[in-house]
Structure 1
């Protein structure tokens, strides 16, 4: 019986060591590891060990039960069963290890159920990860399987060879006690609270805490959460207190500034994929990436302090067209029954007599975008299927210049006033563009910047052609982003990843070119635009007029299970798991943190109520 007990211990130890190797691979793969000194790296392994032990406990439970309940089984048979069981577990563990490497590098959070929302559109999901080093990752996956299978088979064989005949009524109870002992590492110790993600957080450096989380445990936990949308997980305050705290952000508009020369101008909203402020020199970004946009900023109203509401395209579209803030642990567009209850600019502007259309070179089935567009009541939805296959120049669909040309052609046959919304795609992964390389380099950052240069070139050509059209003199063009981007890497300040440009220009603008420094969010576009069109914006409860000087400068954004707040001369990022700040800039006080919590609580409750 001793050899059976030792096999359970050795098996548990083997998985613990295997998970430590996985953590080392994670640190090697992620570029942020360079930020960590040796003591922090030691802390990653030391604190993460608790979660590794918990995960190893789960992986050992089934083999331990087999050994306990089948003590009299032939050693050859039990060895075969354990090898099969171990191989299946290796497949699962190695798959999560490898996929998590790229998920975290791309999105900044560990693998959970989020990517599975996109599998309803497999072609778009494949295109989204096309920039990943798939062959290298697959080779790593095979290597892990082969090495792991060899090591565990050797381990199993070495102990089973020492098995001695035992009577079940003696062996089974003792082995079950040993199996039950696995519950101790599984729950993380004898403390009151069982193992959770915050148990391994230890550093003021956010990445160090994320690196201490075992991805297999994290994924399993996300699968076992149950009804994710049953109750508000962000109930920070007594009932009514959060609502009261937010009143200071929303003030009546008594100082509205009319900027347009017409009461019903045409409106073209250009949502530029991944248009980060880090690609605009005048916003502190790289020089030479968006020269045409830079030139256009001197011809209109340039909003310099706008922040994306979230970090995914579908969250950005919701923020822009419905004025609804992104959620830290949910995406309302992926839940059509909720999304259809949102107000939309499309609905409101159509009721005012506008012809409405939406253009996207890709497939609108991705992330339930199509159902949301129908909810917007667009008269026409132009997507990938409306372009010739010969014009599908990327894995996503038609490139930007092709879609821009289609818009120019269609608008000459469209009755005014019209509202056109364009969602670009060429600056999305895998950053393939039909243009001679301008930003040299084969690394991901260079490819991203090159795609931004192409997108800027396509925009500049469109504006130049639009200025020649008869409808230009009565048209407002709004250029902004669906979200920011982690590239280019200019600093470790994640707030910069959410900073995006917004520019208003066109013949319908009567005001002189100017720069507007009011801090605001994507969600504020709805109220700002509708007020300029003399339309009621009261349905957009989360949207604030950026031109209302009485409103407090404020921007809120959400990332995976956390939020950020930007105010004059200060900003903060708050992690919901550890319930603490993970970074800040300027002088941040308790009231700033509580304001962000109040916004998260109330906006999530509104999401639940839909």
Structure 2
């Protein structure tokens, strides 16, 4: 009897042989890859959960992934299961096998290099960086040559081996009508089984990456799923740009606004616009006959980990010296881990979201608030100066559409002494900026300038003999930071000797730290960055309170003597008799942290966690003593920016100028 059943099953599945082999082969490759990754990250994996349980959950996620790859072709099978279509059906299966399994293998072999860089499996960054092949290939060639070679070998090997396997499976026996009929009969069952595997649960919603987030370590959670699944889900989110409400839960906008407006620095403000509900008036804390120029120096990847005064390794001697001359922030936190997130927070004072930065989103390319738009309305000349290609990360488009009157990039830097993968060196960049500022000062034109550095970016290229190396190998992050600090110090020396020094306020701040990683849902210590407000009119001051990037431009604009209407809910830290908000917000993938002096709330797609952050151990400690008010504050601030973006409400209407 069993032999008869086996023959019937074999006959029924004969025409799905290549699909079944490919499905099984994909599961094997993904499971082996995951096991090797778990062994590589053994300490973090075993600390987070039981490896056996994680492997089972991973297999479940792999069934979802292979189901996604298999189902589209399987659905069309009945069209080919006839005497005229069988040959084409076999060829389609063979092509599917070669492409699908090569794709799976390539994504897995690419994973270790990505993890070393971002402490997560490939995600939306993997796709976004494909838009910039020159810069990315230069970075990979400098830092990951072995992985490029291995990846190439794996892809070629897969194509060769899978082609051989496909030919073996793609036989053309005489057409057997019984087999064809059996295949058609079993087809609905196969579709149901694959669909069930894709759904992976009987719950109301099908499984997604959040379903497999079973630990408090973001890296381990990402290792549970496959890299292909991670990237595909990121592409889906990029296309649909889900709002924070779809990730953390819905709250009525009136309730969100009511919570936000009760913050200490906003409670006395008046909000006159219904369409732009966060717009309020911010009076300047300083008065001058002529408002000060403003220069924002956004330092690439300059985390607190490099600054001695902030507990780092100490490769920023110039910044250490300068901190004694201006406003120095001891507890300043970035809102995210990408340059565009830092730009969004510093230039627009915009809160972070699970979606891409507004620098790259379609609805924010015009009529979106920036400090440049505000100051251009006040008669300032506004300019962005960058050593690389200004189209990178859509910066040029975002800036020109939102108040920047001039954009200078690599092609505008005359006779650069050094050009690396990411453009002209910081020294060349600052020389160009210095000349621009002198010209503008000479004609009496008030100016606002964003100067964005790039030397501290992998592959960490900078001029020879510019600094005494911190580490023997030249192209390391510590040496790149030390060079960036050197270039900054030389620029400030020139600025102090210039006519524009007394008329200018400088904000020096990092966009984010380099290589944000950690075994936490949000590794808060890796969001800690340096920040300094400097200039001829600025008296030294040390600020120990918790500060976010979104607070910096409101403060600088006020110190420059500019009163203005603004939609920003960042705090003017120079305002008198106003208590500090003492809070920071951080977006790490789909996880959102809200930190105060007393507690930390972390929102995740699967719920929230309350506790505090132990900076001595660099770890989040859960606690049940956190008050509900903090959770409500966190949720309101996490949901508000998505609503403002989607409703085109983050802008100052002309009638309020």
TM-score (norm 1): 0.87
User: Aligned ranges for residues 288-299 of structure 1 at < 5 Å?
Assistant: 289-299=315-325
* CA distance, structure 2, for counterparts of residue 505 and residue 435 of structure 1: 29
Q: Please, which of 15, 31, 47 is the counterpart of residue 20 of structure 1?
A: 31
Decide whether aligned partners of structure 1 residues 93 and 200 sit closer, same or farther in structure 2, where only a CA change above 3 A counts. Answer: same
Is 1:601 aligned with 2:624?
no
Tell me: CA distance 1:261–1:135, structure 2 relative to 1, closer, same or farther (3 Å): same
Counterpart in the other structure of 2:330:
304
Q: After the TM superposition, which residues 408-423 of structure 1 pair with which residues of structure 2 at under 5 Å, given as runs? A: 408-415=434-441, 416=444, 417-423=446-452
The one of 169, 181, 188 equivalent to 2:200 is 188
Match status 1:383 vs 2:409? yes
1:400 aligns with 2:436: no
Partner of 1:58: 68
Work out whether 1:562 is the aligned partner of 2:591: yes
Name the CA distance, whole Å, in 2 between partners of 1:489 and 1:55: 27
Q: SS at the partner of 1:480? A: strand
Q: What SS class does the counterpart of residue 271 from structure 1 fall into? A: strand
2:61 is the alignment partner of 1:47:
no
| TM alignment of 1:337-348, pairs within 5 A | 337-348=363-374
Q: What secondary structure is seen at the aligned counterpart in 1 of 2:420? A: coil
Q: Is the 8 A contact 2:238 2:355 kept in 1?
A: no
Q: How does 1:83-122 map to 2 (within 5 A)?
A: 83-122=94-133
TM-score by length of 2: 0.81
- 2:570 is matched with 543
- Aligned equivalents of 1:115, 1:302: Cα separation in 2: 35
Report if the CA contact (8 A) 1:521-1:556 is conserved. yes
In structure 2, distance between residues paired with 1:542 and 1:429 = 34
SS at 2:262 equivalent: helix
1:293 positional shift: 0.6
Secondary structure of the residue that 2:509 maps to in structure 1? strand
Gaps of 5+ in 1: none
SS of residue matched to 2:325: coil
Gap change, CA 1:420 and 1:237, over 3 Å in 2: closer
Q: Tell me, what secondary structure is at the counterpart of 1:342?
A: coil
Deviations along 1:23-47, one digit per CA (max 9) or x if unpaired, are: 2354466xx5532228533332121
How far did residue 364 of structure 1 move? 0.9
The farther-off stretch of 34-43 and 551-560 is 34-43
Deviates more, 1:79-88 or 1:323-332: 79-88
Gaps of 5+ in 2: 1-7, 270-280, 615-622, 649-657
User: 2: CA distance between counterparts of 1:420 and 1:156?
Assistant: 62
For residues 451 and 105 of structure 1, do their structure 2 counterparts lie closer, same or farther at Cα, with a shift above 3 Å needed? same
Is contact 2:508–2:531 with CA below 8 Å preserved after alignment? yes
Which string of whole-angstrom CA distances, capped at 9 and with x for unpartnered residues, describes residues 304-353 of structure 1? Answer: 11111222112211221121122212221113542322222223323334
The match for 2:211 among 196, 199, 216 is: 199
Q: Distance in 2 between matches of 1:112 and 1:582?
A: 27
Task: Output the CA distance in 2 between the equivalents of 1:478 and 1:19.
Answer: 47
Deviation at 1:159, TM superposition (A): 10
Residues in 1 aligned to 2:219 and 2:123: alpha-carbon distance in whole angstroms = 17
Change (3 A) 1:112 1:316: same
Q: Is the 1:54–1:186 Cα contact (8 Å) retained in structure 2?
A: yes
Instruction: Trace 1:119-130 onto structure 2 (pairs within 5 A).
Output: 119-127=130-138, 129=140
Q: CA deviation at 1:214?
A: 2.3
- How far apart, CA to CA, are the structure 2 residues paired with 1:184 and 1:319? 42
Shift of 1:105: 3.9
Contact 1:269 1:477 in 2 (8 A): yes
For 1:226 and 1:495, how far apart are their aligned partners in 2? 25
Checking the alignment, whether the CA contact within 8 Å between 1:41 and 1:208 is kept in structure 2 is no
Match of 1:241 in 2: 255
On the 8 A contact 1:400/1:424 being kept in 2, the answer is: yes
Q: Secondary structure at the match of 1:267?
A: strand
The number of equivalent residue pairs is 602
* Match of residue 652 from structure 2: none
Instruction: Tell me if the contact between 1:519 and 1:554 (Cα under 8 Å) persists in the aligned partners.
Output: yes
Is 1:516 the counterpart of 2:543? The answer is yes
1 CA distance for matches of 2:336 and 2:325? 28
- 1:514 shift after superposition: 2.2
Counterpart position of 1:466: 495
Take 2:226 and 2:519, find their aligned partners in 1: how far apart are those partners?
A: 28
Relative to structure 1, the CA distance from residue 366 to residue 227 in structure 2 (aligned partners, 3 Å threshold; closer, same or farther) is closer
Deviation for aligned residue 1:61: 3.7
**Deviation of 1:378 (Å):** 3.6
Instruction: Give the alignment's Cα RMSD to 1 decimal.
Output: 3.6
Does the Cα contact within 8 Å between 2:300 and 2:510 map onto a contact in 1? yes
1:93/1:418 Cα in 2 relative to 1: closer, same or farther (>3 Å)? same
The aligned counterpart of 1:170 is 181
Which of 311, 317, 329 is the matching residue for 1:284? 311
Q: What's the offset of the Cα at 1:86?
A: 0.6
Instruction: Give distance in 1, aligned partners of 2:71 and 2:58.
Output: 20
In structure 1, the residue matched to 2:533 is 504
Show the counterpart of 1:265. Answer: 292
Partners of 1:271 and 1:481 within 8 A in 2: yes
TM-superposed deviation, 1:518: 2.1
Instruction: Call closer, same or farther: CA 1:585–1:33 in 2, change over 3 Å.
Output: same
User: Per-residue displacement from partner, 1:467-499 (whole Å, max 9, x unpaired)?
Assistant: 222332333222111222236989997112211
For structure 1, which segment, 255-264 or 353-362, has the greater mean C-alpha deviation from structure 2 after superposition?
255-264
Work out whether residues 142 and 459 of structure 2, in 8 Å CA contact, stay in contact via their aligned partners in 1.
Answer: yes
Return the alpha-carbon distance in structure 2 between the equivalents of residues 60 and 385 of structure 1: 48
Deviations 1:268-295 (A, max 9, x none): 22111111111111111112x1111111
Contact 1:520–1:555 (CA<8 Å) still a contact in 2?
yes
Within-5 A mapping of 1:218-237? 218-224=230-236, 228-229=240-241, 232-233=245-246, 234-237=248-251
Name the CA shift for 1:219/1:269 in 2 (closer, same or farther; >3 Å). closer
